[in-house]
């Protein structure tokens, strides 16, 4: 993973932000220095085998579709929905998730309080999903939606084991 920073951010600030992001996402990382750093930097600048912003957005859009499908599947597991309702929810959930997952934040927003910003994004997603549910779901179905949301966006252990999706589609 390479991080590209604005020139105005200080080295200490960069390290602090990276540390918080990596810890929050349970990522075990090691900063490269010396020859290894120079080699990787040269490779990164060649743009070969590295994802750029638009590529990351495409992956986020794919993730949005997978998460929307997962949420609807969780609802259907609790209380079966008619096919049209499932399709409508999946389409609208995907729209909300795509918008939120591809939203760009300025470095000043991240620098001010990255944890608060991420928490706000998650709360916004949850509220918008519930808002959509309120348009289409009865009380029992809404309870199933709230339970589905509470499980999070990532697959549960059982969902991972029982998934028929190819591995690349299950990684979120």
Cα separation, 11 vs 18, in Å, equals 11
Which tens digits make up the pLDDT trace of 26-71?
777 777 888 888 887 777 666 666 555 565 667 778 888 999 999 9
Quickly count helices (H) and strands (E) in the chain.
8, 0
pLDDT at 78: 95
From its phi and psi, is residue 85 left (phi > 0), alpha (psi between -120 and 50) or beta? alpha
Q: Is the pLDDT of residue 147 over 80?
A: yes
Using alpha carbons, list the distances in angstroms from residue 65 to 51, 62, 71, 134: 20, 5, 10, 20
What are the pLDDT digits (tens) for 94-144? 999 988 877 654 444 444 555 665 677 788 899 999 999 999 999 999 999
Q: Residue 86: its pLDDT value, please?
A: 96
Are 113 and 84 within 8 A, CB to CB?
no
- Name the 3-class secondary structure at 32: coil
**For residues 94, 95, 100 and 104, what is the CA-based torsion angle, rounded to 10 degrees?**
120
What gap in Å lies between CA 60 and CA 100, rounded to an integer?
Answer: 9
Nearest C-alpha neighbor of 130 from the set 141, 114, 118, 116: 141
Looking up tokens 């966006």, which residue turns up? Answer: 153
- Distance, first Cα to last Cα, the chain: 16
Per-residue confidence (pLDDT) for residue 94, from 0 to 100: 94
Tokens of 52: 């750029």
- Check residue 156 and report its DSSP letter: P
């Amino acid at each position: 993973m390479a991080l590209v920073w604005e020139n105005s951010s200080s080295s200490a600030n960069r390290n602090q932000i990276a540390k918080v992001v990596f810890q929050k996402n349970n990522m075990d990382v090691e900063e490269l220095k010396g020859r290894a750093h120079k080699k990787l930097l040269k490779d990164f600048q060649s743009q070969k085998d590295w994802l750029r912003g638009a590529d990351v957005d495409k992956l986020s859009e794919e993730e949005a579709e997978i998460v929307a499908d997962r949420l609807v599947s969780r609802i259907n597991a609790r209380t079966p929905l008619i096919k049209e309702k499932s399709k409508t929810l999946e389409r609208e959930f995907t729209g909300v998730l795509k918008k939120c997952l591809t939203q760009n934040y300025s470095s000043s927003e991240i620098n001010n309080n990255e944890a608060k910003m991420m928490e706000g994004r998650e709360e916004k997603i949850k509220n918008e999903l519930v808002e959509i549910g309120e348009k289409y779901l009865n009380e029992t179905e809404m309870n199933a939606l709230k339970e589905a949301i509470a499980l999070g966006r990532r697959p549960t252990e059982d969902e991972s084991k029982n998934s028929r999706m190819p591995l690349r589609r299950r990684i979120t």
